[in-house]
Amino acid sequence: MTLDIVRAAALSGVPHAFLGRSGGTSRGIYASLNVGLGSDDDRAAVVENRRRATAAIGDALSLVTVHQVHSPDVVTVDAPWPDDARPPADALVTRTRGLALGILTADCAPVLFADGEAGVIGAAHAGWKGAFGGVLGNTVAAMEALGARRDRIAAAVGPCIARRSYEVDDGFHRRFVEADPENDVFFTAARRAGHHQFDLEGFVARRLAETGIARIETLGEDTYAQPDRYFSYRRTTHAGEPDYGRQLSVIAL
């Protein structure tokens, strides 16, 4: 089975990939390109899957990921670290060649960034908590500290859960509109009383636009609604499965 790769026009010329779940070695509920070290999948299979996913964008690259905790925190990377020493954070930036910055997702939004002229890249894990808490703006600021310019940075929002698949309650909705009444545009009424459908991709795109970066692209791929292509935490929960796989989004210089 071949790798399922989506690339963004906004990042043309920069090695990157938003990978799906096909083309790996894992079996069962993890089939087949599960890259999640935190899953209960066979460790050797996960390591091989991470190698295959990284090779999709280039040879001799060192994959660097973080222990994602739904925070606004960003790490600047200049050398790889062991997989078992990943720092807690939800975004990475670098200007070092040979490093592949990776973000793992299973419904949250992966966002890849590049200022090709400056030679600075970034990758962020933007679930609702991270996006709400400022991880995207912090990523842009960390890229600027390495020499990037906002008016040159392009960003692409990869596969994530779509509005039609993401039902939330009144408390969730209230948190957003109390922070900014304009956030109400990202919610529509759900069939169940007291519930709403939330547009995570749209909210992430708005937060990116607020940073003043040059270009934003959204891929419009719903992880929940495409079980043959993507892992989904919410779909797994609804199915009563004991665990779930994660897909990788990766970028390098």
pTM of the model: 0.98
- Rounded CA separation 178/137 (Å): 20
Asked whether the predicted pLDDT for residue 151 surpasses 90, the reply is yes
Q: What is the pLDDT of residues 169-192, one digit of tens each?
A: 999 999 999 999 999 999 999 999
Give the pLDDT confidence score for residue 225 in this predicted structure: 98
Residues whose CB is less than 8 angstroms from the CB of residue 85 and which lie 6 or more positions away in sequence, other chains included: none
Percent of the chain's residues with pLDDT above 90: 100
Give the pLDDT confidence score for residue 1 in this predicted structure: 80
Q: What is the pLDDT of residues 69-86, one digit of tens each?
A: 999 999 999 999 999 999
Q: What is the pLDDT of residues 32-69, one digit of tens each?
A: 999 999 999 999 999 999 999 999 999 999 999 999 99
Tell me what the mean pLDDT of segment 128-150 comes to.
98
Tell me what the mean pLDDT of segment 88-110 comes to.
98
Residues whose CB is less than 8 angstroms from the CB of residue 238 and which lie 6 or more positions away in sequence, other chains included: none
Domains along the chain? Answer: 5-162+199-252 (3.60.140.10)
Give the pLDDT confidence score for residue 66 in this predicted structure: 98
Q: Write down the number of H helices and E strands in the chain.
A: 6, 14
